Amino acid sequence: MSVAEAEAREVQFEAPAGLWRDAWHRLRHNPSAMVGFALIGLFVFVAVFAPVIAPEDPRTGDLSRLEGSCCPGPSAEHWFGIDQQGRDEFSRVVYGARYSLLIGVVSVAVGLSIGLVLGAIAGYFGGVADSVLMRLMDIMLSIPGLLLAIGIVAMLGPGITQIMVAVGVTQIPIFARLMRGSVLAARENDYVTAARAVGVSKPAILGSHILPNAMSPVIVQATLALATAIIDVAGLGFLGLGPQDPATPEWGTMLTDTTRYLQTAPHLALIPGIAIVISVLGFNLVGDGLREALDPKFRGRA
């Protein structure tokens, strides 16, 4: 093995590990990012172990618990009180974590994958493909996200899959723009020119040289997009465009009717709302932390 070859291998193996180890090192010393990780951890833990944590079935209630008026507040037996259908609010909030996490992750995955493909095509091939795709993205960006999602759900009808699609579609243009920018920047690097010079095919260059190096802003954006997705999903649920079955313990849907009971049973509105804020806050904190940790401008400062 020649010296140059050995060096090339070293660079290949060291560089990515170095970037991430470095980023992790800086993240660990960022208290707000650590709080964010803890909040996300709690959220994911509750979502995964919901059947173990929740004492009751979130869908079936016992109307006899309502004692004439709506609705008994927190007690030793029911930590978060009883909702207007006689269901245990704690169990509903716990199961709700599953819906928010699942819908959030799937919709961001939809937006991210489509957006990345479109952005990579636009950035790498340029020309007509670039102009057409990016003008399309501009049009989509000019429609406010929630309104676009409302429009899509109205067209597709209510349901969890439809919400995932709707929220995912609103995320496409952000990822497409981001990816296009990253690809344009990465394309000019010497290692890309070198790869092209030795005759590596275009898709292979895109896949093995450009994409890996353009990933860090995408990861940051995906974390922040999860926060937006959770808010948008809850917003759709709140407007009555949530899951088809209104008994579904989705946090936004749970908030819909509660304004009517605000005087007698404020816990019905406060508890799911706080659950949304905690999970969104977690993703925002981690996203901001990641941005600082991965941004070369901040490197070596921690």
Partner 1 sequence: MLRFVIRRLLLLVPILLGLSILVFAWIRALPGGPAEALLGERLTPESRQQIEEQYGLDDPVFVQYWRYLKTTVVDRDLGTSINTRRPVSEELKERFPATIELAVAAMLFAMVLGVPLGYVAAKRYGGPVDQASLVVSLLGVSMPIFFLAILLKYIFAIQLGLLPTVGRISVLIDIEHPTNFYVLDAIIAGDPEALWDVIKHLILPAIALGSIPLAIVARITRAATLDVQNEDYVRTARAKGLPPRIVDTRHIFRNALLPIATIIGLQTGLLLSGAVLTETVFAWPGMGTWLVEAIDNRNYPVLQGGILFVSLVFVLVNLLVDLSYALINPRIRVS
Farthest CA pair distance, the chain: 85
CB of 75 to partner 1, least distance (A): 20
SS3 content of the chain, % helix, strand, coil (to 5): 75, 0, 25
Which is nearer to partner 1, 150 or 195 (by Cβ)? 150
Determine which helix (DSSP H) or strand (DSSP E) holds 116, and give its type and residue range.
helix 89-125
Report DSSP letters for 164-227, one per residue. Answer: HHHHHHHHHHHHHHHHHHHHHHHHTSHHHHHHHHTT--HHHHIIIIIHHHTHHHHHHHHHHHHH
Residue 284 in tokens: 């925002």
CB of 269 to partner 1, least distance (A): 5
Which is nearer to partner 1, 170 or 182 (by Cβ)? 170
CB of 143 to partner 1, least distance (A): 7
CB of 286 to partner 1, least distance (A): 12
Residue 12 in tokens: 């290949």
CB of 95 to partner 1, least distance (A): 19
- In a 13 Å sphere around the CA of 287, the CA atoms on its Cβ side amount to 18
Determine which helix (DSSP H) or strand (DSSP E) holds 247, and give its type and residue range.
none
| 116 closest CA partner among 4, 193, 192, 210 | 210
Give strand pairing partners of 82: 88
Which is nearer to partner 1, 215 or 270 (by Cβ)? 270
| 111 closest CA partner among 131, 141, 147 | 141
Which is nearer to partner 1, 19 or 239 (by Cβ)? 239
Which is nearer to partner 1, 71 or 120 (by Cβ)? 71
Which is nearer to partner 1, 41 or 55 (by Cβ)? 41
Which is nearer to partner 1, 118 or 280 (by Cβ)? 280
Give strand pairing partners of 88: 82
User: By the criterion CB under 8 A, which residues form the site for partner 1?
Assistant: 142-147, 150-151, 154-155, 157, 227, 231, 234-235, 238-239, 252, 255, 258-259, 262-263, 266, 269-270, 273, 276-277, 280-281, 284-285, 288
Query: 286, exposed or middle or buried, with CB in 10 Å at 0-12, 13-18, 19+?
Result: buried
CB of 274 to partner 1, least distance (A): 8
CB of 31 to partner 1, least distance (A): 13
